[in-house]
Structure 1
Amino acid sequence: MSEKKKEGVLAGFKAFLMRGNVVDLAVAVVIGAAFTNIVNSVVKGIISPLVGAIGTKSLDGYTSCLKGPCGIDAKGDAIGVNILWGSVLNAALTFLITAAVVYFLMVLPMSKYLARMEQRRRAKEGVQETMEITELVVLKEIRDELIAQRGQNGQGGQGGYGGQGGQGGQYGHPGSGY
């Protein structure tokens, strides 16, 4: 590989790593991994025992035998074909709790914050737009007033400015056109 290609690839890789999105994504993955451990602990330590209070201490103990005889041998291995629906329920509860915590503690507050910021931005644009419209209306009124004055003060000239004689220009100066 030539030196220029090697430098171009390394420079591109460095630029890729230094982008804000890559760093943000790396931080999100690390925080997500730590957050997953917290949620798993809450599910295993609090939720599963509460749900399992009607039967076993852990949801993982809920099974159904598809093909018997089912049970556990002396070595701790499963005998028969067991459907471990308790483990699936445990994983589903973990997912629902994780999704609820992410939504209510992260997504919902952030969307409310962004909506407030958008509302402020729109309000600021609305005020600026109103000022621009008001200025435009005032300028049109001034123009209309000047046109009306031009018509009253001088009846001669051609359009007031640069008139060619006549009985008076814009300001009543005979023959000047001004």
Structure 2
Amino acid sequence: MSKEKESVLEGFKAFLMRGNVIDLAVAVVIGAAFTNVVTSVVKGVINPVVGAFGTQDLNMYSSCLKAPCETNDAGEVVKGIPIMWGTVLSAVLTFLITAAVVYFLMVLPMAKYLARRARQQAAKEEVQEVMEVSELEVLKEIRDALVAQRGSGRNDPGRNGPGQSTP
């Protein structure tokens, strides 16, 4: 196998092994399953509520652009131009329900969790910073005390330090 083919295969393998591809695949599978749940909610809950005011199937709501619309026995339009606004309304409701569920059950809790983690991390860094500052302050105090000791030992003529002789 040539080096170019090997590098392409290595690159493809690296691409597949990255977490992003796996996360994307999981998201697609979960999204497909979630779509079925939302569709069931729309058909089982929303449509009957709307049906209390009209037909139970939102797809049945329509208007005719060129009145009157006529259909044959099979339900096909033979005269007029129907505008199926009920289908659009059903799709919009499905989207809004999906967006609300994703936001309130996934995005909002994750945002709160990440904010809490960021606050904890900031507090931890602040404590670490305070500890570093306090260690630095202690070291400075020790240094100042040593300097003061040396200074007082050299300037005091009555005191003999190491290597000093009395006159």
Q: State the TM-score, normalized to the length of structure 1.
A: 0.84
Q: Cα–Cα, structure 1 residues 136 and 62, in superposed 2: closer, same or farther, change >3 Å? A: same
Q: Cα–Cα, structure 1 residues 174 and 27, in superposed 2: closer, same or farther, change >3 Å? A: closer
Aligned to 1:162: none
Aligned to 1:73: 72
How many percent identity over aligned positions?
65
1:1-178 alignment runs, 5 A limit: 3-78=2-77, 79-155=79-155, 172-173=161-162, 175=164
Q: Which amino acid aligns with 2:85?
A: W
Taking only aligned residues, the RMSD between alpha carbons, in angstroms, comes to 2.0
Aligned mates of 2:83, 2:161 — CA distance in 1? 105
Q: Secondary structure at the match of 1:56?
A: coil
Shift of 1:86: 0.9
Q: Which amino acid aligns with 2:70?
A: G
Shift of 1:96: 0.4
Aligned mates of 1:173, 1:115 — CA distance in 2? 61
Q: Contact 1:155/1:168 (CA < 8 Å) preserved in 2?
A: no
Q: Which amino acid aligns with 1:86?
A: G
Aligned mates of 2:106, 2:27 — CA distance in 1? 12
Q: State the TM-score, normalized to the length of structure 2.
A: 0.89
Q: Cα–Cα, structure 1 residues 76 and 152, in superposed 2: closer, same or farther, change >3 Å? A: same
Q: Secondary structure at the match of 2:65?
A: strand
Please list every run of 5 or more consecutive structure 2 residues that lacks an aligned counterpart in the other structure: none
Shift of 1:76: 1.1
Q: Secondary structure at the match of 2:155?
A: coil
Q: Contact 1:49/1:59 (CA < 8 Å) preserved in 2?
A: no
Shift of 1:174: 5.8
89-98 or 74-83: which moved more? Answer: 74-83
116-125 or 98-107: which moved more? Answer: 116-125
Q: Secondary structure at the match of 1:13?
A: helix
Aligned mates of 1:116, 1:168 — CA distance in 2? 64
Q: Which amino acid aligns with 2:128?
A: Q
Q: Which amino acid aligns with 2:140?
A: K
Please list every run of 5 or more consecutive structure 1 residues that lacks an aligned counterpart in the other structure: 157-166
Shift of 1:17: 1.1
Q: Contact 1:70/1:81 (CA < 8 Å) preserved in 2?
A: yes
Q: Which amino acid aligns with 2:65?
A: L
Aligned mates of 1:35, 1:106 — CA distance in 2? 12
Aligned mates of 1:146, 1:5 — CA distance in 2? 67
Q: Cα–Cα, structure 1 residues 168 and 34, in superposed 2: closer, same or farther, change >3 Å? A: farther
What is the aligned residue count? Answer: 164
Q: Secondary structure at the match of 1:133?
A: helix
Shift of 1:82: 1.2
